Amino acid sequence: MAATHDMNEKPAFYTIKKADFGKFFESLTRKYKVFAPVEAGDEHNFRQVKTVSEMKLGNYVNVEFPPKKFLHPNGLLMMEFAGSRVRQRAKTGKIALFGVRPCDTHALDVLDRVMTDGYVDAYYKKARGSTLILALNCKSAGDECFCGSMGTDKAIGFDLLFTETGNGFHVEVGSEKGHSLVNNKLFRKTGSPAAKAKLVFRKQINTENLEEVMRSSFSSEFWDETAKRCLSCASCTSVCPTCYCFDVHHDAEPSEKGIEKVNISRTWNYCMLQPFTRVAGGEVTRESRTERVKQFFYHKLLYGKENQGKLHCVGCGRCIRECMTKIDITEEAAKARSEYESKK
Ligand code: SF4
Ligand code: SF4
């Protein structure tokens, strides 16, 4: 599902000047709804923009809410039953996301594996196919970022990858769609890859034999201590770029004549919440907070690798930033390793 670059050729590199970037951007908005990072208070988030001047990169590290919201929207109205009619409601227009960070291109790769390998989620697939990924390399790492240790600091699966330079951007082409976007006078071919900024990370996870480390610490007592600090607020899961769980709801719209319309929609759901594992008959399979906390961390640091061949943590640091009680996945991974070492 990742963008393909048939290109049996070497990567194609271009440059574009700042003055021409505005023209490129405006031409893009004629074909796509363009979303880009806009500064809002202390955070940046994707907002629809029409001109470059609306896009506020400022001290942009990453968006608070990751790109998944465009591909797997919370509250998606899937279909509607009205009388004998069934209408497919989820609409997907062509959108372009500018400013997707390298870690989030890896998160999209995780979602692609979950939503389109084997079982194919038609809603996700359609949205993904009509979304242009215009990635943007980082100039510096945020305090909570640790993509450097997760191997997710190099963007993948993009249509175009931008790197800011003094007087514009360096652009790497990653797909046929991307190729068609640079095939004009605004872009100049160059032979050299981008000079990427050297990022300094304050956090890291040691991923060496991480699967073994996580398996060996499953019953460790430190998980109870972590769970005591957890508020079950689910902030971590709501901002995580690779969390994809959802509930399906049907809402009936009654009228004097009876039920005239039933809407089927899906909303995000979170393993950190107790009702998440409530099944028919009222049984809750993860009653304790320790079990729920472990589910989150094990999904990110072990199960994803077991099931989709890739860790579901891409080191974006959002869960650390959002957690009110400072629960930190890098510290939990370090505790797991220390338990593992102590058993040797
Ligand atoms: S953000 Fe922190 S407190 Fe809230 S559910 Fe996640 S780990 Fe628990
Ligand atoms: S677990 Fe935390 S650091 Fe890892 S991808 Fe999710 S939000 Fe980012």
pLDDT at 9: 62
Residues 106-112, mean pLDDT to the nearest whole number = 98
- Which pLDDT band, with edges at 50, 70 and 90, does 5 fall under? very low
Residue at token pair 């960070």: 101
Residue pLDDT, tens place only, 284-302: 989 899 999 999 999 999 9
Query: Does residue 107 carry a pLDDT above 50?
Result: yes
Q: Which runs of E-coded beta strand occur in the chain?
A: 12-17, 33-40, 43-48, 76-82, 85-88, 95-100, 131-136, 160-165, 168-173, 188-190, 246-255, 258-268
Question: Does ligand 1 lie within 6 Å of residue 230's CB atom?
Answer: yes
Average pLDDT over residues 92-102: 94
Q: Is the CB of 236 under 6 A from ligand 1?
A: yes
Q: Is 58 left (phi over 0), alpha (psi -120 to 50) or beta?
A: left
pLDDT at 311 over 50: yes
Q: Among 21-25, 67-71, 223-227, 247-251, whose mean pLDDT is lowest? A: 247-251
Q: pLDDT at residue 4 above 80? A: no
Ligand 2 near 101 CB (within 6 A): no
Considering only CA atoms, which residue is closest to atom 4 of ligand 1?
Answer: 233
**What's the whole-model pTM score?**
0.94
Any atom of ligand 1 within 6 Å of the Cβ of 231: yes
For residue 277, pLDDT over 80 is answered with yes
Between 102-111, 249-258, 259-268, the lowest mean confidence (pLDDT) is in 249-258
- Whether 113 shows a pLDDT value over 70: the answer reads yes
Query: Distance between CA 128 and CA 105 in Å, rounded?
Result: 12
Please give the distance, rounded to the nearest whole angstrom, from the Cα atom of residue 230 to the centre of ligand 1. Answer: 5
Q: Of 29-43, 111-125, 248-262, 275-289, which range is least confident?
A: 248-262
Torsion of CA 141, 227, 292, 214, to 10 degrees: 60
CA distance 87 to 179: 36
If one compares 140 and 56, the residue with the highest pLDDT of the two is: 140
Pairing of strands 131-136, 160-165: parallel
- pLDDT given at position 8: 55
How far away, in angstroms, is 218 Cα from ligand 1 center?
19
Angle at the Cα of 163 from the Cα atoms of 159 and 168, rounded to 5 degrees: 110
pLDDT at 90: 67
The reply to whether ligand 1 has any atom less than 6 angstroms from the CB of 232 is: yes
Q: Which residues contact 281 (CB under 8 A, 6 or more apart)?
A: none
What is the atom index within ligand 2 of the atom nearest the CA of 316?
8
pLDDT tens readout for residues 40-88: 888 999 999 999 999 888 788 999 999 999 999 999 998 888 877 777 7
**HSE toward the beta carbon, residue 162, CA cutoff 13 A:** 25
Residue at token pair 């359609």: 126
| DSSP bridge partners of 261 | 82, 253
Mean pLDDT of the chain: 92
Six-digit token pair at 50?
Answer: 């029409």
Q: What distance in Å separates the CA atoms of residue 73 and residue 65, rounded to the nearest whole number?
A: 11
Please determine, for residue 2, whether its predicted confidence score (pLDDT) is greater than 50: no
In angstroms, rounded to a whole number, what is the distance separating the alpha carbons of residues 344 and 341?
5
Within 13 Å and on the Cβ side, how many CA atoms surround 66?
A: 26
Cα of 328 vs centre of ligand 2, distance in Å, is 10
Distance 297 CA to ligand 1 centre (A): 11
Residue nearest to atom 1 of ligand 1 (CA): 323
Does the C-beta of 300 come closer than 6 Å to ligand 2? yes
**315 in ligand 2 pocket by Cβ < 6 Å?**
yes
Q: Is 171 in contact with 161 (CB distance < 8 Å)?
A: yes
Ligand at minimal distance from the CA of 229 is: 1
Q: Residue type at 117?
A: D
Identify the residue whose C-alpha is closest to ligand 2 atom 4: 313
Higher pLDDT, 252 or 111: 111
